[in-house]
Amino acid sequence: MQMLISTLIDGLNLGSVYALVALGYSMVYGIAKMLNFAHGDVIMVGIYSIFVCLNMNSLPVPVTMLICVAVCAVLGFTVEKLAYKPLRGSPSLSVLITAIGVSYLLQNLALLFFKSERRFLQNFLQLGSIQIGSFELPVISLVIWGTTLVIMIVLNLLIKYTSMGRAMLAVSEDKGAAQLMGVNVNRTISITFVIGSALAGVAAILYAAKYQNVDPYTGSVFGIKAFAAAVFGGIGSIPGAMIGGLSLGLIEALTIGFLPESLSAVSDGIAYALLVLMLILKPSGLLGKKKVEKV
């Protein structure tokens, strides 16, 4: 029982972080219609920024966290401006290849500055745990769940009830018609990248708090799994990203927790197996909608 509960908690932790990252993929895909392959690597850069602030400069934790989110947001903005914006209107394959290029570029920059070895953070956000009956609940889990929940709610309100949110929905459906309404499409796409990347920054903080380490490939592996979660939930859908992320986290934790040791190595493969299964059964994902066609 204890084992089951702690496995579920682990799964929810992991799943929440997946959900935040999946959200970044999903929003950018929904609005710019591109797969930002470098999204995962933004997380890696975020964790290195924590490493630099904390280990190398001993900055206070709250400042470190702010810097991490800011670094990710600025990085997302810059990458969009320099790499993707010039390709607006190009075939999606060119954009995808550029995104893969950006991903390698970020990884190689990390290799250059920090070498390939894994770096460990100095007690970043070690919050201890609280006792519930005979059970110990790590405080960081509460922080992870709370943060994810609040972000999901705020994002939903933002999209449903602000004119910027309506602009995003309009651009996601029909860029030309959105322009005819007076929506600045380039600006809307920029804002989407900044929000998605800031969420990657938050994910970086949560990831760092849980695992306390980083190497140049941390982001890409994690990112691909989060992307699988986004597709599983229905890419373009915010609740889909949430459900996809949580499902993947739980399934992964359960396989690691309950499969025999010799099989636990397959847990990484689970994400991809899920992705393939979903693409066969329901290509638009769990909550993805088929387009309403009307002539």
Partner 1 sequence: MSMLEIKGLQVNYGMIRAIKGIDFHVDEGEVIALIGANGAGKTTILHTITGLVPAKAGSILFEGTELTKVQPHKIVAMGMAHVPEGRRIFQELSVFDNLRLGAFTRKDKAEIAASIEMVYQHFPRLLERKNQIAGTLSGGEQQILAMGRALMSKPRIILMDEPSMGLSPLYVSEIFNIIAEISKMGTTVLLVEQNAKKALSIADRAYVLETGNIVLEGDAKELMQNDDVKKAYLGE
**Chain contacts with partner 1 (rule: CB under 8 A):** 163, 166-167, 169-170, 173-174, 176-185, 289, 291-292, 294-295
Question: Of the two residues 62 and 176, which places its CB atom closer to partner 1 in the complex?
Answer: 176
**Residue positions counted in the chain:** 295
CB of 205 to partner 1, least distance (A): 33
In single-letter form, the type of residue at position 16 comes to: S
Instruction: Copy the structure tokens of residue 132.
Output: 């519930």
CB of 163 to partner 1, least distance (A): 7
Q: How far is the CB of 124 from partner 1 (least distance, A)?
A: 41
State the minimum distance, in angstroms, from the CB of residue 158 to partner 1.
Answer: 15
We find the least distance from the C-beta atom of residue 160 to partner 1, in angstroms, to be 9
Report the distance separating Cα 282 and Cα 217, nearest Å.
31
Give the separation between CA 126 and CA 123, rounded to whole angstroms. 6
Q: Which is nearer to partner 1, 136 or 174 (by Cβ)?
A: 174
Secondary structure (3-state) at 120 = strand
At 277, give phi and psi (nearest 5°). -60, -45
Among residues 122 and 184, whose Cβ is nearest to partner 1?
184
Q: Which is nearer to partner 1, 61 or 286 (CB)?
A: 286
User: In sequence order, what are the residues at sequence separation of 6 or more whose Cβ sits closer than 8 angstroms to the Cβ of residue 78?
Assistant: none
Nearer CB in complex with partner 1: 94/162: 162
Residue 171 beta carbon to partner 1: minimum distance, rounded to whole angstroms:
10
- 212/284 with CB nearer partner 1: 284
